[in-house]
Amino acid sequence: MSLILNKLVTSLFRLNLTPKVIPVKFIHNTAINKNDEGVPISKDRTTIIPVEISIKYLKSSAYKKTYGEYPVWKFYRRNYKGQIPPQKTRRTCIRSGVISTGNPCPICRDEYLILDYRNIDLIKQFISEHDGRILNYNYTGLCQKAYKDLRVAVTKAKEYGLLTYDVPFRYYDYSEWKN
């Protein structure tokens, strides 16, 4: 027992500890570029595109050639097994910066479509003309992450006054204030 304790004490109080060399790829995982691993550039979503470029893209001829005058979700069709579609759409289309599915949702498939409260032209495509509500993800085909980002963007746009909306009418019971 004393031999084990003696060995332990000498290893703890040793002055010349030899440093262990750790390769760089184990220290920082993002040091490796995803394109070097064989991921196609068309599926890579690690580059961050500013909102200003997304707004310019919505007004460009490339956008009009791709989508025409229709909303971005108009020609999207979900893939699913069987005859009845699942109740919810997939959780996310992009995992660790790469498109992980063969048929991503309308927002995730186009890298220049950024859901932000300043991108009003894109947000208006997902709002109903009749009652002003956000269109359901079953109707638009958005993944759950993109739908959550859409709800956040719509709420922020309404708070900043960039989107107009009707305030609900309040009904009061005036019999409570009669004499």
Structure confidence by residue, pLDDT tens digits, 109-130: 999 999 999 999 999 999 999 9
Q: Is the pLDDT of residue 100 over 60?
A: yes
Q: Is the pLDDT of residue 1 over 70?
A: no
In this predicted structure, what is the pLDDT of residue 178?
78
In this predicted structure, what is the pLDDT of residue 43?
87
In this predicted structure, what is the pLDDT of residue 93?
94
Give the C-alpha separation, 177 to 179, whole Å. 7
Q: Is the pLDDT of residue 143 over 70?
A: yes
- Catalogue the long-range contacts made by 48-54 (C-beta closer than 8 Å, 24 or more residues apart): 49/111, 49/112, 49/114, 50/114, 51/114, 51/116, 51/118, 51/119, 53/112, 54/112, 54/113, 54/114, 54/116, 54/119, 54/122
In this predicted structure, what is the pLDDT of residue 32?
42
Tell me the mean pLDDT in the region 149-176: 92
Mean pLDDT computed over every residue of the chain: 85
In this predicted structure, what is the pLDDT of residue 18?
53
Which position has the token pair 């759409």?
89
Q: Where are the domains of the chain?
A: 44-82+90-164
User: What CATH number is given for 44-82+90-164 in this structure?
Assistant: 4.10.640.10
DSSP H or E segment with residue 5: helix 2-12
What string of DSSP letters covers 45-113? --S---HHHHHHHHTSHHHHHHHTTS-TTTT-----SSSSPPSS--S-SEETTEE-SSS--HHHHSTT-
At 31, which amino acid appears? Answer: A
